[in-house]
């Protein structure tokens, strides 16, 4: 039995949802992603944002790449499987 994404995200569930929504538009760098999440959800602080992002990575819903040494984030194929 697997845990629901909300259980695995704990108090970061809502900001994690907004990160997934923002990344549904395509890959983004951390600054761009933070701005997109704040535009969707309002006053999300940087620590809350990073906590949610780390949990999404840990649960293999988001992956980080380092093109040109700058972190970029994108949805993983596992995230798509959970949505469908």
Where residue 11 falls among pLDDT bands split at 50, 70, 90?
confident
Within 10 A of 81 (CB to CB), how many other CB atoms are there? 9
Q: Which domain holds residue 43?
A: 11-83
Q: Is 57 exposed, middle or buried (0-12, 13-18, 19+ CB in 10 A)?
A: middle
CATH of the domain at 69: 1.10.10.10
Q: Does 52 fall in a domain?
A: yes
Q: What is the pLDDT of residue 28?
A: 97
Q: Does 31 fall in a domain?
A: yes
Prediction pTM value: 0.81
């Amino acid at each position: 039995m697997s845990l629901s994404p909300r259980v695995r995200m704990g108090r970061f569930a809502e900001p994690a949802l907004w990160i997934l929504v923002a990344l549904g538009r395509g890959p983004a760098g951390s600054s761009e992603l933070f701005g997109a999440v704040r535009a969707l959800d309002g006053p999300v602080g940087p620590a809350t944002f990073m906590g949610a992002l780390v949990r999404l990575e840990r649960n293999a819903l988001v992956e980080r790449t380092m093109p040109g040494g700058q972190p970029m984030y994108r949805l993983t194929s596992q995230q798509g499987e959970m949505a469908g």
